Amino acid sequence: MDSTRATDRRTFLGTTALGASALLAAPAVLRGASPTADPVRVGHIGTGTRGWDLVKYTGATDSAKVVAVCDVYKPHLLRGVEAAHNPDVKTYLDYRDLLADPKVEAVIIATPDHWHEQMLLDAARAGKAVYCEKGWTVSIAAAKRMREAVRKHKTVMQLGHQGRQFPASAVGGKMIRDGKIGPVTLVKTGRYFNNPPEKPVWRWFGYYSWYDRPDPKQVIKDLDWEKWLGPAPKIDFHEGHFWHWRCYWPYGTGQAGDLLSHELDYVQCVLGYGIPDTCACAGLNAFWKDDREVPDTWIATYQHEQQGCTTVFEGIQNSNRNQTPEFIGRNGRMIFNSIGQDASRFEVYEDVAAWTMGGQPREAVFRFIPGKADRRPNHMEDFLQCVRTGQKPRCNEDEAFIETATLLMSVESYRQKRQVRWDREKEEIV
């Protein structure tokens, strides 16, 4: 290490708003902290893949009490009951009956995306707080109705982008706004999978990477198919559509709502630029040659024209390369340690490259490692606290609208095979 580079690093650290002590005192995520002695009485709507994770959490934290569980598929309903850890938990087949339960204060919606709008509207009218999984919804018109309902009924609403729970985004965002890596002109994000042919991406059964196929005849007996379809086009029972709904357009937005939404929400959390001005997206089923409708390859390029910043999302399902959120500025780049929903640390490198010509990593000039001081609640705890205080959660209806517009810009660009633009006056994709 030459003396010039050492001096440059000392200068960089000296000019940041964070010194070495700040690294040790940085906020960390706090689990299970109850803000009051009165736990929030929660009803879960949907206890499938992601929903099961959520009920396991609320069933184990002191700040919530699971009083009701709803699912149209019996095995998922039963595992939700088990995870609730409440012998008096009520079960429902129809979510509207759950919403009519006066004991339920807040609902957690973890259903296929095509159900999100109606469930949120009904919950807001019923006076329930709402935690809703991403993507928020499947159309701009629906997002407007949902935002209006949340505002009208003064609903506490949290969208499930848990990357916002980590203080790294706030610390990194402040450093960028303070000019510590210079003007940021490019952000790179991505999601990558490389499953073997016998384990196709999104083709699991009931939980991530479960590939043991339940007996379809028993599934039909245990499932209310009509209730599962809801507002989607009416078709006869289709095993693939039930288990693998992310592969089909009637129930969601593919990679846009599942993966891009996480990554672009994290970029929004760091930069705070809002809805991009333009998007150009290309998609292709390049690898998985089954009956899936949504592309396994999804490349979206966004422009924030006023800020002079481009963001690129790469969604690829035949590669395991790693592209964590990377913010590239004139004087350096900020590289986070994991995908957006788990990004809890970052490093800053000088100049334009994190690697030397010989393939060895350069030495970071700044590392953010969260410590024990100034802890903050995790994403679900933030929601539960806001139910009690009436404050806005981190990923409230305004941030949810930004998420929806951003992900749908990529869908519209793909469908129309052209660059699309966000009309800020009309709040429409044009």
**DSSP secondary structure of 276-300:** -SEEEEEEE--S--SS--S-SEEEE
How far is 400 from 37, CA to CA, in rounded Å? 30
Q: Nearest-CA neighbor of 313 among 404, 399, 410?
A: 410
DSSP tally for the chain: helices H, then strands E: 15, 18
At 151, the amino acid letter reads R
Determine the topology of domain 29-162 in CATH. Answer: Rossmann fold (3.40.50)
How far is 344 from 163, CA to CA, in rounded Å? 8
In the prediction, which pLDDT does 148 show? 98
Q: At what angle do helices 397-416 and 261-271 cross, to 10 degrees?
A: 130
In the prediction, which pLDDT does 353 show? 56
| Omega before residue 135 within 30° of 0, cis | yes
**Which residues lie below 8 Å from residue 3, measured CB to CB, with a gap of 6+?**
none
Q: Is 68 within 8 Å of 40 (Cβ atoms)? A: no
**Which residues lie below 8 Å from residue 182, measured CB to CB, with a gap of 6+?**
329, 330, 331, 332
Q: Distances in Å between the alpha carbon of 99 and those of 70, 127, 297?
A: 10, 9, 39
**Which residues lie below 8 Å from residue 344, measured CB to CB, with a gap of 6+?**
29, 166, 168, 337, 338, 370
At 232, the amino acid letter reads A
Residue 204 neighbours by CB distance under 10 Å:
18
Look up residue 425 and give its DSSP letter.
T
Q: Distances in Å between the alpha carbon of 132 and those of 24, 115, 295, 422?
A: 34, 11, 25, 25
Count how many Cα atoms sit within 13 Å of the Cα of residue 207 in the half-sphere of its side chain.
9
In the prediction, which pLDDT does 4 show? 34
In the prediction, which pLDDT does 1 show? 34
With H, G, I as helix, E, B as strand and everything else as coil, classify residue 90. strand
Q: Nearest-CA neighbor of 22 among 183, 175, 181, 179?
A: 175
In the prediction, which pLDDT does 321 show? 82
Name the strand (E) or helix (H) holding 132: strand 129-132
Token representation of residue 38 = 């009165």
In the prediction, which pLDDT does 8 show? 41
pLDDT < 50: residue spans in the chain: 1-27, 31-35
Backbone angles phi, psi at 149, to 5 degrees: -65, -40
In the prediction, which pLDDT does 37 show? 67
With H, G, I as helix, E, B as strand and everything else as coil, classify residue 419. coil
Find how far residue 19's CA is from the centre of its chain: 31
In the prediction, which pLDDT does 359 show? 59
**Which residues lie below 8 Å from residue 393, measured CB to CB, with a gap of 6+?**
156, 157, 158, 382, 383, 386
In the prediction, which pLDDT does 11 show? 38
In the prediction, which pLDDT does 355 show? 56
317-375 per-position pLDDT tens digit: 888 888 999 999 999 999 999 999 999 999 999 875 555 556 566 789 999 998 876 57
Query: From edge to edge, which strands make up the β-sheet containing 326-329?
Result: 366-368, 346-350, 332-336, 326-329, 184-192, 309-316, 297-304, 278-284, 420-423, 428-429
Residue 126 neighbours by CB distance under 10 Å:
18
Reported pTM: 0.91
**Which residues lie below 8 Å from residue 269, measured CB to CB, with a gap of 6+?**
161, 163, 164, 169, 170, 173
> Strands 29-30, 376-377: parallel, antiparallel or unpaired by DSSP?
parallel
In the prediction, which pLDDT does 5 show? 35
In the prediction, which pLDDT does 361 show? 60
Q: Is 87 within 8 Å of 115 (Cβ atoms)? A: no
